[in-house]
C-alpha cells in the first residue's frame, strides 16, 4: 500500500518503546530546520490522550457532545476529533486531514507496521527483536552498537543525530 495522501516525502522512525524515538526526533528537527526545511510531524500514540484539560472551554464543549473541536488563536490551531467507533488509525487516512502545505518533509513516529520509508532505531540493551528482517520499507538502521546488517541497509550511529540528519537530507532533499 502506498501513501496516496502524502504530498511531501515521508520518513518514519520505527522502534520499540523506550528506544529514544522522541529524543532523537527532538535533536534532528532543529538540525533540519537550520538547513531551511519545514518539517511536519505525525506521532502515533497507543494511549487515550487528552490535549484539552478539564475545566477549559474546549474540554467542556467536547464533553458536552461536540465530536470535533477546532481551537484556534493567532499562534496555532488544534483540531480535536473523536474517533467513533474507536479504532486504530491508518497513516494514509490521517494524512488526508494533515495540512501539508508549506512542508518539505513529514517525519513520522510510530506506525511501524505500515508501508513507507523508515529508519529503524535499535538499542542493544533493550534486547528487542530487529524489525528490518520483516519490513522491506526500512531503509536505514540506527543503533548504539554496530550490528551486521545486509549491504542494502545503511547503518547509522543512534547517538549521532547530526549524521542521521545528514542522511535524511541526502536521501530525501537532494542536498
pLDDT in tens, 127-136: 999 999 999 9
Contacts of 145 (CB under 8 A, 6+ apart): 124
| Mean pLDDT value across residues 103-131 | 95
| CATH code: domain of residue 27 | 3.40.50.300
Point out the domain boundary residue: 60, 88, 116.
88
Question: How many structural domains comprise the chain?
Answer: 2
Question: How many Å apart are CA 148 and CA 10, to the nearest integer?
Answer: 26
Determine contact, residues 16/113, Cβ cutoff 8 Å: no
pLDDT tens-place string over residues 72-108: 889 988 888 888 898 988 999 999 989 999 999 999 9
Contacts of 157 (CB under 8 A, 6+ apart): 142, 143, 144, 163, 164
Whole-model pTM over 0.75:
yes
Please, what sign has the CA dihedral across residues 139, 3, 23, 47?
Answer: negative
Average the pLDDT over each of 8-17, 35-44, 46-55, 127-136 and give the range with the smallest value: 46-55
Answer yes or no: do 84 and 168 share one domain. no
Q: Name the residue range of residue 54's domain.
A: 49-88
Same domain flag for 34 and 81: no
Residues 127 and 69 placed together within one structural domain of the fold: no
**Helices 161-172 and 21-34, interaxial angle, to 10°?**
60
Q: Give the DSSP per-residue string, 29-83.
A: HHHHHHTT--EEEEE--SS---SS-TTSHHHHHHHTT-SEEEEE-SS-EEEEE--
CA angle 23, 77, 100 (to 5 degrees): 70
Amino acid at each position: 500500500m502506498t501513501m496516496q495522501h502524502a504530498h511531501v516525502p515521508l520518513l518514519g522512525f520505527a522502534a520499540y518503546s523506550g528506544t529514544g524515538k522522541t529524543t532523537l526526533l527532538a535533536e534532528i528537527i532543529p538540525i533540519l530546520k537550520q538547513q531551511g526545511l519545514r518539517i511536519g510531524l505525525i506521532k502515533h500514540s497507543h494511549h487515550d490522550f487528552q490535549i484539552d484539560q478539564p475545566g477549559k472551554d474546549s474540554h467542556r464543549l467536547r464533553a458536552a457532545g461536540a465530536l470535533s473541536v477546532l481551537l484556534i488563536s493567532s499562534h496555532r490551531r488544534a483540531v480535536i476529533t473523536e474517533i467513533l467507533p474507536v479504532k486504530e488509525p491508518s497513516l494514509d487516512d490521517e494524512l488526508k486531514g494533515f495540512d501539508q502545505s508549506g512542508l518539505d518533509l513529514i517525519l513520522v513516529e510510530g506506525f511501524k507496521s505500515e508501508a513507507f520509508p523508515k529508519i529503524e532505531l535499535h538499542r542493544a540493551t533493550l534486547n528487542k527483536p530487529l524489525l528490518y528482517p520483516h519490513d522491506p520499507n526500512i531503509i536505514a538502521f540506527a543503533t548504539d552498537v554496530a550490528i551486521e546488517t545486509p549491504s542494502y541497509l545503511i547503518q547509522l550511529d543512534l547517538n549521532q543525530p547530526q549524521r542521521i540528519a545528514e542522511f535524511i537530507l541526502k536521501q530525501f532533499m537532494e542536498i
